[in-house]
Amino acid sequence: MQTASLKTESRNVTVQPAVRSKKLDALTSLRIFAAGMAVFMHAEGLLSKGYPSFVSHLAWEQCVSFFFVLSGFILFYNYPVLENSRSVARFLIARVARIWPAYITIFALIAFTSNKAQEVSLSILASTVAMLNSLVPNLHYCMNLNPPAWSVSTEFCFYLMFPFLVASWKDTWWWKLSITGATVILSLLLAATSNISGDFFWHSFLYMNPIVRVFEFTIGMVTAGAFLRLREEWHNAGNRQHALQIDALQISAVLAVVASLIVCSVLTRVEQSPVVHNSLLHWFRTSGGAPAYAFLIFAMAFVEGKLAQCLSNKVWVTLGEISYSVYLVHFPLLWLALVHRFDWFGAIPDIPLYVLSIGAILSASWLMFTFVETPARKSIPRLVFGAR
């Protein structure tokens, strides 16, 4: 899933040059690990025996939570202030230019090559093209031709909310975080007490709806604010190294993410009881790792750390840059391999087919990034606002 660019893109915002002088390449690289979690989760069907049980039951879907937190962090990092309606318009056009072209390209390719397109109603088609389908708590809307793309719709809704969230942020961040957190609690209470049953509604409502999941996005914004203040304090004090402390911080953050993933996965296997309702377990499995991801993003934003420097390697950064396309193309390609497992690929053993599928995903993603994402990101704002 696409997050905001890690380079400062805003023109009409107040920026602190000392803080934003370095690219956050480590955060770019982390995106490929999150996208890889989605690929790994959906690729299990290529193996006749699947993954070992303990691996299969891990909460791999938390990769989406990481993207939501990262998006809030990066957008606040790049756009700490939107001064007027023109800067808001530029922000929204830039965001559309980054996510919509690749999103609609994959959707169109599937629509024109799949018989399933005939099952998509006009209302589903319109909401999907407009990237608003995740607002409808209905799996037919959220997960149609390219199921993982529901998160792009949710992300786009965050973009629409961002100008309101970032307004007067210094004085309002605490109650905005509180309100979005309260929304999660109220949603879980509603799920626990409602007469509506079945995953058809609740999965789309608790897992996909941007009104519920904007809490994770807001956590990312709060994390960015904390990071920028600390970086500025260290810069002004002339003490920018803190090498050992930063290394320890980054190692601790990685361990926290691993521990959180395991804990959230184990919690979801607790049998339903009057104390622990399924809706709460569902939320923990999908979103419970958000604080750990915020810690990881905060730590890796300090580019002086050893782990951040390792992740700033050009190979990792390049993979991170194509991660949005990886997220978009992986499911259709894996589905193609699964559907034709025996008629097209019957002679290929599991492991080679698995490796070939990953290679095909990376190759297709690079093509998408090179010939769709990058040209659109540069040309659409120019077409709308003219050359600068």
Per-residue pLDDT tens over the stretch 65-81: 999 999 999 999 999 99
Q: What is the pLDDT of residue 17?
A: 38
- Residue 197's pLDDT is 65
Percent of the chain with pLDDT over 90: 70
Distance between CA atoms of 40 and 62, rounded to whole angstroms?
12
Instruction: Kindly report the number of other CB atoms within 10 A of residue 381's CB atom.
Output: 20
What 8-state DSSP symbol labels residue 58? S
Give Rg (Cα) of the chain. 21
Percent of the chain with pLDDT over 70: 88
CB 102 within 8 A of CB 332: no
Confidence bin at 13 (pLDDT 50/70/90): very low
pLDDT at 248: 92
Higher-pLDDT residue of 236 and 265 is 265
Contact between 261 and 34 under an 8 Å Cβ cutoff? The reply is no
Average pLDDT of 47-72?
95
- Residue 7 pLDDT more than 70? no
pTM comes to: 0.92
Residue 235 has pLDDT above 70, yes or no: no
**pLDDT for 14:** 39
Is the confidence at residue 10, as pLDDT, over 50?
Answer: no
Decide if pLDDT at 378 tops 80.
Answer: yes
In the chain, the N- to C-terminal Cα span, in Å, equals 29
Token pair 């519920």 in the structure block, residue: 212
The answer on pLDDT for 288 being more than 70 is: yes
Q: Which residue has the higher pLDDT, 266 or 42?
A: 42
| Whether pLDDT at 299 is above 80 | yes
Please state, in angstroms and rounded to a whole number, the distance separating the CA atoms of residues 152 and 325: 11
Asked whether the predicted pLDDT for residue 98 surpasses 70, the reply is yes
What is the arithmetic mean of pLDDT over 41-60? 93
Q: What is the predicted pLDDT for the residue at 11?
A: 39
Q: What is the mean pLDDT of residues 194-206?
A: 76
Q: What pLDDT was estimated at residue 3?
A: 55
Query: Residue 374 pLDDT more than 80?
Result: yes
Q: Residue 4: pLDDT above 80?
A: no
DSSP-derived secondary structure for 178-200 = HHHHHHHHHHHHHHHH-S--SHH
- In this prediction, residue 211 carries a pLDDT of 96
Residue 42 confidence (pLDDT): 96
Higher-confidence residue of 110 and 17: namely 110
Q: Tell me, what's the pLDDT at 304?
A: 85
Q: Give me the pLDDT at residue 202, please.
A: 78
The Cα 140–Cα 119 span in angstroms is 10
Higher pLDDT, 21 or 251: 251
- Residues in Cβ contact with 357 at an 8 Å cutoff, skipping those fewer than 6 apart: 43, 46, 333, 334, 337
Higher pLDDT, 83 or 195: 83
What mean pLDDT is reported for the chain? 89
Question: Length of the chain in residues, anyone?
Answer: 388
Q: Residue 324: its pLDDT value, please?
A: 98
Average pLDDT on 245-265 reads 94
Higher local confidence (pLDDT), 48 or 371: 371
Residue-level pLDDT at 19: 40
Other CB atoms within a 10 A radius of the CB of residue 290 amount to 26
Nearest to 164 by CA among 107, 92, 265: 92
CA 253 to chain centroid, in Å, comes to: 18
